[in-house]
């Protein structure tokens, strides 16, 4: 019997690279596809020695062709941080629309199960708290963040259309704030910014008064949730994230303590449409997947710090 084969788009990104490792560990042949506009080949270089790992430098908004069988496709290609989708608005919209369409077409042709990486940003600046999957969101479609929010909302609609019209086996994960090794040092998200600033002894940049909340999930927990969702029968969107909510200011203080830094806080104006609260309701994931986070913040930051310490030192050398 031949090995199962999986295509992971955006596979050289932060989350995609961890997924490549997980599927190789599960005995899959892995095809990692990335155009590297925000991904980094160094995230998967250590996998090139694996005979079941294949890298393809390709843009999924163009024609996507894979020779041979495909059992699963995980669509993770997209700029995914505010600095990325503000600098790459059209590419963000294209990968969420054209890219999703192309890869769903491939899933249909191959009879492959398709998992869409969606996002908690579908909820926008939420008017309900915490956010459950039946909440339709509060998104500004013409604001600067709308290119990402609406691209993912469209991608969810397209995924459900292929499921209902063509019978494609689909799964949709709504990912909440996730952190861990291999996040880009300058991707603009809160953990890389805080970690790099703290390690350099620079002030930590906090937007607004720091009272806005986020819920931080360690990458290993997220990958486990993705694995379970892919292998479940659940078609409708499922939240995966850590429900342990904290303010950005509390998170900054946790990073300062973990790094032993003497950094201070530098307060800046709050960006447009920045969500004031973010906390996943994971009752559905607990019920249908038996999943909940296992790694607490202290342990997750400890594991992340080792990776960041090495890369900041290299960057500053």
Residue 215 has pLDDT above 80, yes or no: yes
What's the pLDDT at 1? 63
What's the pLDDT at 229? 98
- Of the candidates 14, 86, 85, 21, the residue with the CA atom closest to the CA atom of residue 308: 14
Name the β-bridge partners of 171.
115
Name the β-bridge partners of 207.
268
- Compute the mean pLDDT over every residue in the chain, rounded to the nearest whole number: 95
What's the pLDDT at 186? 87
Peptide bond into 130 cis (omega under 30): yes
What's the pLDDT at 147? 96
- Report field, pTM of the whole predicted structure over 0.75: yes
The answer to whether the CB of 158 falls within 8 A of the CB of 166 is no
Active site residue 162: no
Read off the DSSP letter of residue 280: B
- What is residue 119's three-state secondary structure? strand
- Of the candidates 15, 59, 70, the residue with the CA atom closest to the CA atom of residue 34: 59
The answer to whether the CB of 300 falls within 8 A of the CB of 218 is yes
What's the pLDDT at 251? 94
| pLDDT tier at 315, thresholds 50, 70, 90 | confident
Residue 139 has pLDDT above 90, yes or no: yes
Token duo for residue 178: 């996730």
Q: What is the rounded distance in angstroms from the CA atom of residue 308 to the CA atom of residue 5?
A: 32
Q: What digits encode the pLDDT tens for the residues 24-54? A: 999 999 999 999 999 999 999 999 999 999 9
Domains belonging to the chain, first-starting first, are 5-178+217-240 (3.40.50.720), 181-214+244-280+294-316 (3.90.25.10)
| pLDDT tier at 277, thresholds 50, 70, 90 | confident
| pLDDT tier at 274, thresholds 50, 70, 90 | confident
Name the E strands within the chain.
5-9, 29-34, 53-57, 72-75, 113-119, 170-175, 178-179, 204-207, 213-215, 217-218, 238-240, 245-247, 265-268
List the catalytic residue out of 85, 123, 148, 162: 148
By the 10 Å C-beta count (0-12 exposed, 13-18 middle, 19+ buried), 308 is classed as buried
What's the pLDDT at 2? 80
Q: What digits encode the pLDDT tens for the residues 174-211? A: 999 999 999 999 888 999 999 999 999 999 999 999 99
Q: What digits encode the pLDDT tens for the residues 88-132? A: 999 999 999 999 999 999 999 999 999 999 999 999 999 999 999
Residue 214 has pLDDT above 90, yes or no: yes
């Amino acid at each position: 019997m031949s090995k199962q084969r999986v295509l992971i788009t955006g596979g050289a990104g932060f989350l995609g690279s961890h997924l490549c490792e997980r599927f190789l560990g599960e005995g899959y042949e892995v095809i990692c596809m990335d155009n590297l506009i925000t991904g980094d080949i160094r995230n998967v270089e250590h996998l090139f020695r694996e005979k079941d790992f294949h890298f393809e430098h390709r843009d999924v908004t163009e024609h996507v062709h894979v020779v041979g069988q495909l059992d699963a496709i995980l669509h993770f290609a997209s700029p995914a941080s505010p600095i990325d989708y503000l600098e790459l608005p059209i590419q963000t919209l294209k990968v969420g629309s054209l890219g999703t369409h192309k890869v769903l077409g491939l899933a249909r042709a191959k009879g492959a199960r398709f998992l869409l990486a969606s996002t908690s940003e579908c909820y926008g600046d939420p008017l309900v708290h915490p956010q459950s999957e039946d909440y339709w969101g509060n998104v500004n479609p013409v604001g600067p963040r709308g290119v990402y929010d609406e691209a993912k909302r469209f991608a969810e609609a397209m995924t459900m259309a292929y499921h209902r019209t063509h019978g494609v086996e689909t799964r949709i994960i709504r990912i909440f704030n996730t952190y861990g090794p291999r996040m880009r040092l300058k991707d603009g998200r809160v953990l890389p910014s805080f970690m790099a600033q703290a390690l350099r002894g620079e002030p930590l940049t906090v937007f607004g008064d720091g009272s806005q909340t986020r819920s931080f999930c360690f990458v290993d927990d997220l990958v486990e949730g993705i694995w379970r969702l892919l292998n479940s029968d659940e078609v409708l969107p499922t939240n995966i994230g850590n429900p342990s909510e904290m303010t950005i200011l509390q998170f900054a203080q946790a990073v300062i303590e973990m790094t032993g830094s003497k950094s201070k806080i530098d307060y800046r104006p709050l960006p447009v449409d920045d969500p004031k609260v973010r906390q996943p309701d994971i009752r559905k994931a607990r019920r249908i997947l038996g999943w909940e986070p296992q790694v607490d913040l202290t342990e997750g930051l400890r594991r992340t710090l080792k990776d960041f310490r090495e890369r900041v030192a290299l960057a500053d050398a």
